[in-house]
Amino acid sequence: MSSSANTNETRSWLWRVNPTHAAGHAGLLVGLLVLWETGSRTGLLDSLILPAPTAILAALWQIAVVDRLLWGHFGITLYEAMAGFVIGSAIGIALAIGAALWEPFRRYSAPYVVGLQVTPRIALAPIVIAWLGFGTTPNVAIAALLCFFPPFLNTMTGLLDVDRDLQEMFRSLRASKRQVFTQLMLPTALPYMMAGLKTAMTMALIGAIVGEFISASEGLGVLMHRFTFQLNMAATFAVLVALTLMGLLLFALMEWVDNRIVFWRHDERMQEISRKRAAREAGRAATETPGTARVAPAGRT
Task: Residues 72-220: name the CATH superfamily.
Answer: MetI-like (1.10.3720.10)
Model confidence at 289: pLDDT above 60: no
Please write the tens of the pLDDT for every residue from 4-48: 444 444 445 455 556 777 787 788 888 898 998 898 888 888 888
Q: What angle do CA 181, 2, 20 make, to 5 degrees?
A: 115
pLDDT at residue 201, as a whole number: 93
**What are the contacts of 258-262 at 24+ separation with CB within 8 A?**
258/194, 258/198, 261/190, 261/194, 262/190, 262/191, 262/194
Please write the tens of the pLDDT for every residue from 120-154: 888 888 899 889 888 889 999 999 999 999 999 99
- C-alpha separations of 291 from 24, 116, 280, 283, 284 in Å: 61, 69, 21, 16, 15
Q: In the chain, where are the structural domains located?
A: 72-220
Residue 119 buriedness (CB in 10 A; 0-12 / 13-18 / 19+): exposed
Model confidence at 57: pLDDT above 90: yes
Mean pLDDT of the chain: 83
pLDDT at residue 261, as a whole number: 84
Please write the tens of the pLDDT for every residue from 76-101: 999 999 999 999 999 999 999 999 88
Sequence-distant (6+) residues with CB within 8 A of 202 are 247, 250, 251
pLDDT at residue 83, as a whole number: 96
Q: For the ranges 80-89, 225-234, 275-284, which has the lowest average pLDDT?
A: 275-284
151 contacts 193 by C-beta, under 8 angstroms: yes
Dihedral of CA 58/59/65/66: which sign? positive
Q: Give the model's confidence band at 60: pLDDT under 50 very low, under 70 low, under 90 confident, else very high.
A: very high
Q: Where are the beta strands (DSSP E) in the chain?
A: none
Q: Give the model's confidence band at 271: pLDDT under 50 very low, under 70 low, under 90 confident, else very high.
A: low
